[in-house]
Structure 1
Amino acid sequence: MDFSILKLILVALTTTATALLSYYGRAVFHDGLRPLMPELIEGRMKRPEMSSIAFGLSVGFIASVGISFTLSTGLLNPWLLFLPTDILGVFAGSAWLAAVLGCAWGVAVVSGLTVVQSFFTLFPVDFIGALGQLSSPVLAGFALFPVLAIIYQFGWKKGVFSAAIVLLVRTFIAQGFLPKDISLLPEAGELFIGTILLVIFALWQDRKSKADEGVDEGESLFEERTTRIYKGLPFFAIVGALVAVIANLHYFAGSEVSVYTLHDAYTAKSASHSSSLVHQAALADFLRAIGFIPLIATTALTTGVYGVLGLTFVLPIGYIMPNPILAALAGAAMLSLEVLVLSRLGKVLERFPALREASDNIRTSISMVMEIALLIGSVLAVIKMGDFTGFTIFAILYFINEATGRPIIRLAVAPLGAIVTGILLNILYFLHLFTP
């Protein structure tokens, strides 16, 4: 992870702003913390108690997903930046203390992890370089999540049909049947077609249910507690601008589905290949954002607490903008617009139950394909580090986690296990028990 004063300043400003959002109860990053925040905001719970809950909910993600993704890619991520600012903002007894603690965390992350990563590169067994293998299966695996979501929601017949269509599209693109002036990764084509099929099936189901049963539109369930979110609009605009800028400057990857693709994009030797990968990452985060709309929007409107990244559409905007200034303007505009249309969005979600269900299946499918892809990528990485000695160590660590009830979630245990395997291989090397 490269160090620069600009990165230090921008990240510190970002974590300062998100800590203040947490302090004022306008937004937090952790989905599990959001429903609890009204207890603090409305005076039924004290800050020390809420900060203890926030710490318990978040510490595992910070130590596993946050650190492992950053060490393996060099890119900052929201688990590492914003889960701690959730805790710090809730803990702080005043706005200035929240700002100071948030700023300090941003400085510590940028400076501290740069030192840690530089230190690891000095080891005789190059496990940081080998961690690049983690990204190998992620693109191909993630592109299949719409097919899995279709199987979950509409059954195996539609799933097999969709899989056949997706495979044909991939083959068509991979064999070069597209016009030469169109640059499109096969995985991008898979994602697009699979998502279109999922939406078509969901809308058709909603149409049939309305025709058969009728729809009682009634009053929206999402009319209350929106005023609190609207009052945070200036903060949301600032956060949207800052997040889009740090994403545009290649400092930040916003999710598990884009972090390894962006790492490959920023290290690619070909400009055209790099651009294709960036657009692939943007598409992946765009589709992920669609899947999380019901969860984020409904909890925001029922609790009055939004997500610090909003509906997360600010992420693909940051990746693809041509320069940081446009990224800042577009990021601020997007997050502000999301806040302003939240109430209308709630009404739309009420009218399309199959689409809401599709979003649940999208989230489940994304988690499953990412768990499998990162597991395969981690196995490739540890084999590159230390052949089957590395695999043996990694497998032991993975099995211990499974046998003890998964204290570390599957999404994080594979990349974290690969990092620990690399450290253990270096220890064995120094003990003359392993030769790379």
Structure 2
Amino acid sequence: MTGNFSVLNFTVVIILCAFTAFLSHMGMAVFHDGLRPVIPEYIEGRMKRPELGSIAFGLSVGFIASVGIAHTVATGLLNPWLLFLTTDILGIISPKKWIAPILGGIWGALTLTALGFINTVLTGLPVNFIGAMGEISNPVVSCFALFPLIAIFMQFNAKKGIISTVITFAVRILLTKFVPSLSADAMEMFVGIVLLIGFAVVQDSKLKHTGEEEENVFSVRTARIRKNIVFLMISGALIAVACNIHIFGGSEVSIYTLAKAYKSTDPATSSGLIQQAALSEFMRGLGFIPLIATTAITTGVYGVAGFTFVYCVGYLMPNPVFAAIGGAAVILLEVLLLGWVGKFLGKFPSIRDASDNIRTSMTTVMEFALIIGSINAVVKMGGYTGFFIAAMIYFINEMTGKRIMKMAIGPVAAIATGVILNLLCYVGLFVPIK
């Protein structure tokens, strides 16, 4: 619990945040799934670090200020939205790799000592633009799930794309109606990926290939992840320890159950609740495997918590030492399996060809989601006065040669709008919308 200010708690959280900020800066791993496809744009020289930082901020700040802080205040447990989304940002905006862990460590200390003050600062402005920034993130998850369908349209014909869209939409409607406990977005994306791979395999089966096998794009990407495996294992070990010392909850499906378990005075009840939380977390992790695996093997950037099974290990291990060993082992196994998946997919030329389409489709849906989310955010901040400011920032950028790339302009315009509206409030020229 965050109220238990032990030396161990401080040490683990500070080191964990410092290390994940370093991973983010180096482009080895980030927590936000929507950010992962953008990292190669910077690594390969097509984007500058400030632009990447603005995207990271726009994608994450709403979750940090709302979901991250809310879950921690309600349960007394830290969570990945509060810690890792922030270290994503801090690592990316850090100009030097040695500065990233310092900023991350400071954030870890702040979460344990000044959470209430941070919440007041973030939400106490006349125009609560930080809270409104959450609107940017809202369309991201649902929109990101569409990338397999866009990739199908790009690689195969429109007929297959339309058929895939109808099938995926039907699955979403049926799940929402009859199995609301499952994540419709995760299953929608899973169906899309299966259809994409299926079309590729069918196409390859009709062709005869001769000569040496072409370079496996997926293997190249997974090789980058394997190169960083020691760093990723350390991250998994630290996260598992944080879970084990009763200060961290991995997601919304387990954090409230864990809070009850840690407050219980009956050992049997507490143990049962922890096992229940671990099972719920495991089932949630299964649902996110397609998203994390696909973004990893097509970008070469992993998740700081891998497939999130390290949370379960941390909950169930008898002490921090075993938790660290288990967390590192889980990440090792995941990365090895990821390499196998990459090699398997690389045997199919059409799937290799799909890698560029997948990355392009990810970028396309992210650009769309960020623009839509940014519009929602500025309207929430200041109605159509906010819309006017943001729209003109967008069009000025367009008319002057896109000095800020499309992926970044939405969040940048939303942030600038929030600042301008607050300044107008302070000089009496704008009345905040209630």
Shared fold per TM-score greater than 0.5: yes
Counterpart mapping for 1:236-255 below 5 A:
236-242=232-238
Using the TM superposition, give the Cα deviation of residue 372 of structure 1 relative to its aligned residue in structure 2, in angstroms.
1.3
Query: What's the secondary structure of 1:213's corresponding residue?
Result: coil
Q: 1:221 to 1:245 in 2, by over 3 A?
A: same
Match of 2:194 among 193, 196, 220: 196
8 Å contact from structure 1 (residues 245, 325) kept in 2: no
Does residue 107 of the first structure (1) align with residue 102 of the second (2)?
no
Q: How many pairs were matched up? A: 371
Deviations 1:244-270 (A, max 9, x none): 6679999899xxxxxxxx799989xxx
Counterpart mapping for 1:252-267 below 5 A:
none
Does residue 395 of the first structure (1) align with residue 430 of the second (2)?
no
8 Å contact from structure 1 (residues 382, 418) kept in 2: yes
CA distance in 2 between counterparts of 1:222 and 1:388 reads: 45
AA paired with 2:150? L
Deviations 1:9-48 (A, max 9, x none): 445424654688899x99688546768xxxxxxxxxxxxx
CA distance in 1 between counterparts of 2:27 and 2:382 reads: 48
Indicate the residue corresponding to 2:89 in structure 1.
80
Does residue 375 of the first structure (1) align with residue 391 of the second (2)?
no
Using the TM superposition, give the Cα deviation of residue 169 of structure 1 relative to its aligned residue in structure 2, in angstroms.
1.6
Indicate the residue corresponding to 2:61 in structure 1.
71
Indicate the residue corresponding to 1:415 in structure 2.
411
CA distance in 2 between counterparts of 1:283 and 1:136 reads: 19
Q: What is the TM-score normalised by the length of structure 2?
A: 0.67
8 Å contact from structure 2 (residues 225, 335) kept in 1: yes
Q: 1:161 to 1:328 in 2, by over 3 A?
A: farther
Q: 1:161 to 1:263 in 2, by over 3 A?
A: same
Q: Which moved more, 1:72-81 or 1:242-251?
A: 242-251
Indicate the residue corresponding to 2:426 in structure 1.
430
CA distance in 2 between counterparts of 1:117 and 1:324 reads: 28
AA paired with 1:287? L
Q: Which runs of 5+ in 1 are unaligned?
A: 36-52, 90-97, 254-261, 297-306
CA distance in 2 between counterparts of 1:432 and 1:395 reads: 23
8 Å contact from structure 1 (residues 19, 102) kept in 2: yes
Counterpart mapping for 1:123-134 below 5 A:
123-134=125-136
8 Å contact from structure 1 (residues 26, 232) kept in 2: no
Measured on the aligned residues, the alpha-carbon RMSD in Å equals 4.8
Q: 1:385 to 1:164 in 2, by over 3 A?
A: same
Q: Which moved more, 1:228-237 or 1:127-136?
A: 228-237
Counterpart mapping for 1:29-428 below 5 A:
31=40, 57-62=48-53, 64-74=54-64, 75=81, 76-77=84-85, 79-83=88-92, 88-89=96-97, 98=98, 101-110=99-108, 118-176=120-178, 178=179, 183-209=181-207, 212-214=208-210, 216-217=212-213, 234-242=230-238, 283=287, 286-296=290-300, 309=302, 312=303, 314-317=305-308, 321=312, 323-324=314-315, 331-337=327-333, 347-428=343-424
Deviations 1:332-358 (A, max 9, x none): 224323565687666535422222233
Query: What's the secondary structure of 2:133's corresponding residue?
Result: helix
Q: Which runs of 5+ in 2 are unaligned?
A: 31-38, 65-80, 261-278, 318-322
Using the TM superposition, give the Cα deviation of residue 389 of structure 1 relative to its aligned residue in structure 2, in angstroms.
0.4
Using the TM superposition, give the Cα deviation of residue 376 of structure 1 relative to its aligned residue in structure 2, in angstroms.
1.4
Q: What is the TM-score normalised by the length of structure 1?
A: 0.67
AA paired with 2:89? L
AA paired with 1:337? L
8 Å contact from structure 2 (residues 240, 310) kept in 1: yes
Using the TM superposition, give the Cα deviation of residue 243 of structure 1 relative to its aligned residue in structure 2, in angstroms.
5.1
AA paired with 2:306? L
Indicate the residue corresponding to 2:270 in structure 1.
none
Q: Which moved more, 1:236-245 or 1:197-206?
A: 236-245
